[in-house]
Structure 1
Amino acid sequence: MTPLAVLVVDDQEMVREALRAVIDRREDLRAVGTAGDGEQAVALAFELRPDVVLMDVRMPGTTGVEATRRILADWPHTDHPAPRVLVLTTFDHDEYVHAALRAGATGFLLKNSRPDELARAIRVVADGESVLAPSVTRRLIGAVTALPAALLIGTPRVHDDRERALEALTERELEVLVLVARGRSNAQIADSLGLTEGTVKSRVNRILTRLGLDNRVQAAILAHETGLLGPPPH
């Protein structure tokens, strides 16, 4: 099996090398490069075409938020999918992380996570799922919906279009969307609804496509904003 290619981005050399070492100790993972700032991250992502980018969000100059947005919005390779972006932070209450998730990052991980947790997170996001515990998802939704309009998903018109697209989802697709928004994995959704994991993965992908979203985190936020989950958490 070909190892998952990972690009490591952090402005501290010691952190970059530690992350590289953790990754390269796993047979199914390979660090294909490291970047010390956002500009270099964008350039190397386009050049190396990794499966996953580990992105530090707090960097001088071009932040991890802007680098994430540019990598995903300006991806130049039509024959190769854009990488999944897993953002790294010191704190789980970090406005930069919230903005990066809005920009299309697939999840976030604390820098003090154990090596095995890091390796698992890389595998999970590479498979199209988000690295967010349900409790973190609820807190994130509450925080991210309070962000300035400039950081929201798209324009008001785009948001209105997505609300209309929700009306076209089937009842089962809405059930899947609600469970995604509550932080459930594909396996947990399959168990709850009596479906196969493969069927759930296919339905999640179809929901994202219909709603014009990049990932499950954005789907969770939209589900909250459109009232599918009830009132916001306090």
Structure 2
Amino acid sequence: MTVRVLLADDQEMVRAALRGVIDRRDGLEVVGEAADGEQAVAEAARLCPDVVVMDVRMPGVNGVEATRRILSARTPGGAPPPRVLVLTTFDLDEYVHAALRAGAGGFLLKNSPVDQLEHAIRVVAAGEAVLAPSVTRRLLKTFTAPGAPGPPAPGPAGRLDALTDREREVLALVARGLTNLQIAEALGLRETNVKSRVNRILTRLGLANRVQAALLAHEEGLV
């Protein structure tokens, strides 16, 4: 099955380079481009791609707001919205946390190896999460550094009370960045069983994706 990709970046040269890289990969196809966030929202609605590769810093509507609009928009026939992979030049971008909060399924740097970009698109398309290593370190530091301002305040206390003990175990491993297969191997479960548990966790906690689940797990002290 081909993963259909929409590119959103204000630099035409960057879009051309990304298209050249992605279209050469088996099972990946660029179906459209957008030069700003407003156009990205419109093209996502028109083309219904599987993944939007989204720049953060664009004129007018930025990538964070565009991500929020894309993921909250109604889709034809109630189909799931596209997944969003944020791609940026800055590993210390102040929009990292906001983009993940908006529902982005991953965050990758533009200087990442080509194979890593391909892998990230496939992972995000499959509904899992991917973060650049430096971004992961930065997010973890946010939760652990003494006196750090930390992330936005968590929601109502006891949010994890809705989960079973096994679901808490799964959530803790999601927060550590493990894939469904790795979680299955760690807990002695089938991969399909883990996938259904992750989906149930997201539904019970009212979260959009695994990244948000990981952030919540850290906020609640599960990891």
| Normalised TM-score (structure 1) | 0.87
The 8 Å contact of residues 107 and 132 in structure 2, kept in 1 or not, is answered as no
Q: Distance in 1 between matches of 2:184 and 2:108?
A: 25
Is residue 2:43 matched to residue 1:49? no
Q: Distance in 1 between matches of 2:137 and 2:187?
A: 21
The answer for the alignment partner of 2:171 in structure 1 is 177
* Unpaired stretches in structure 1, ≥5 consecutive residues: 230-234
Distance 1:134 1:24, change over 3 A: closer
Q: Distance in 2 between matches of 1:220 and 1:179?
A: 9
Relative to structure 2, which stretch is displaced further, 133-142 or 189-198?
Answer: 133-142
The answer for the alignment partner of 1:39 in structure 2 is 38
The 8 Å contact of residues 134 and 183 in structure 1, kept in 2 or not, is answered as no
The answer for the alignment partner of 2:65 in structure 1 is 66
Distance 1:51 1:98, change over 3 A: same
Distance 1:147 1:42, change over 3 A: farther
For this pair of structures, how many residues does the alignment match?
A: 219
Calculate percent identity across the aligned residue pairs.
69
Q: Distance in 2 between matches of 1:19 and 1:134?
A: 21
Q: Distance in 2 between matches of 1:96 and 1:135?
A: 14
The answer for the alignment partner of 2:90 in structure 1 is 91
Q: Distance in 2 between matches of 1:135 and 1:118?
A: 15
SS of the counterpart of 1:112?
Answer: coil
The answer for the alignment partner of 1:188 in structure 2 is 182
Q: Distance in 1 between matches of 2:56 and 2:133?
A: 22
For residues 4-63 of structure 1, what are the alpha-carbon distances to aligned partners after superposition, in whole Å with 9 as ceiling and x for unaligned? Answer: 110001110000011111111112011000001000000000000000000000112110
Q: Distance in 1 between matches of 2:134 and 2:39?
A: 34
Q: Distance in 1 between matches of 2:20 and 2:175?
A: 34
Q: Let me know the Cα RMSD of the aligned residues.
A: 2.0
SS of the counterpart of 1:95?
Answer: coil
The 8 Å contact of residues 108 and 132 in structure 2, kept in 1 or not, is answered as no
